[in-house]
Chain A
């Protein structure tokens, strides 16, 4: 059970309901549990949404690679919510189910190409020990330009933020019928 209330639109002050309205307009769905938890500090949710939306909708990095990196962050930090939520996004973006299933063996599994493996190695090293070896950087530089690498770094950093929010609030996966 989450440690903070999961607020509905009706539970927000009237002056803050536009945050949820904007969310639905931009994303086409109702706010998810993590955002409804952050809404306990509505001014902070207001500051949070632009970067969250920018990382989702305004990057050049291939969405399949972005989602693989995010699922890897969730997998390595034991964040079931993050894994479930972004596995759905990954499938929607075109990631084969086999690439999600074999994340624990990404270093040796034949289901990944060089680009996927370079992204996953970066996400794994940063999340595990917040360091990147020269080999991992070289593999990224061989496949991506500097803008894409910077975007990847921001995605991995941001989702290391997200898993800590989930961990603090003890938020579990959203069950969908």
Chain B
């Protein structure tokens, strides 16, 4: 497929938005289906741009999701992104023990509980979803649900394709 420098740079921007890059193992693993890969990352970039969640919390939720799905190196990259976006070091270090970390506010805990349960269990209990409803409007609930679902799906592509060292 012939690509213009413009489409290549748009692709690079979409990948960077979701925490990946053109030379990274995930994009390389998807290279045999370039149109689908492009559409997949456009979805992710659109999701990130319009998610509306605090960027540091967004990256912590992504890291939680990826770790729960076994994509540990991707999770580490998003933890680093969370740090660059202002997440406290204690939150990054204690993400997996967030329930006991006093630095996390209740809305943050509600997001992380949801992310972990959705990633691991697929279905989400009324109690956990109710935590989102307590703190976020319907639009934000939908955005958080899609964010977590997207990265769980991405982990289910990256790990089996060998893009998760």
Q: For B153, give its contact among A41, A77, A161, A170 (CB under 8 Å).
A: A161
- How far apart are the CA atoms of A55 and B70 in the complex, in Å? 24
* Minimum CB distance partner of A39 in chain B: B142
Q: Which range holds the interface residue count of chain B?
A: 35 or more
- How far apart are the CA atoms of A3 and B124 in the complex, in Å? 11
- How far apart are the CA atoms of A161 and B42 in the complex, in Å? 15
B80 within 8 A of A: no
B62 within 8 A of A: no
Is the pair B37, A154 in contact by a Cβ cutoff of 8 Å? yes
Interface size on A, residues (CB 8 A): 49
> Given A50-B42, A79-B122, A130-B156, are A150 and B33 neighbors across the interface (CB < 8 Å)?
yes
* Minimum CB distance partner of B65 in chain A: A164
Is the pair A154, B123 in contact by a Cβ cutoff of 8 Å? no
A162 within 8 A of B: yes
Q: For B122, give its contact among A38, A48, A164 (CB under 8 Å).
A: A164
Q: How many A-B residue pairs have CB under 8 A?
A: 151
Is the pair B70, A165 in contact by a Cβ cutoff of 8 Å? no
> Given A44-B146, A46-B46, A47-B46, are A161 and B152 neighbors across the interface (CB < 8 Å)?
yes
* A160 contact set on B, CB distance < 8 A: 152-153, 156
Is the pair A48, B146 in contact by a Cβ cutoff of 8 Å? yes
Q: How far apart are B61's CB and chain A's nearest CB, in angstroms?
A: 13
- How far apart are the CA atoms of A3 and B69 in the complex, in Å? 24
> Given A164-B148, A164-B149, A167-B124, are A3 and B40 neighbors across the interface (CB < 8 Å)?
no
Is the pair A156, B142 in contact by a Cβ cutoff of 8 Å? no
Q: For A153, give its contact among B133, B145, B152, B157 (CB under 8 Å).
A: B157
B160 within 8 A of A: yes
Residue in A4, A46, A127, A130 with the greatest tally of chain B CB atoms within 10 Å: A130
> Given A150-B32, A167-B122, are A47 and B43 neighbors across the interface (CB < 8 Å)?
yes
Q: How far apart are B158's CB and chain A's nearest CB, in angstroms?
A: 8
- How far apart are the CA atoms of A153 and B119 in the complex, in Å? 18
Of residues 60 through 103 on chain A, the ones whose CB sits less than 8 Å from some CB of chain B are 77-79
Is the pair B145, A154 in contact by a Cβ cutoff of 8 Å? no
Not counting A150-B161, A167-B122, a sample of 6 additional A-B residue pairs whose C-beta atoms are within 8 angstroms of each other reads A127-B156, A147-B33, A149-B32, A158-B153, A160-B153, A167-B124
Chain A contact residues, CB within 8 Å of chain B = 3-5, 37-38, 40-41, 43-44, 46-48, 50-51, 54-55, 58-59, 77-79, 122, 125-127, 130-132, 146-147, 149-151, 153-154, 156-165, 167-170
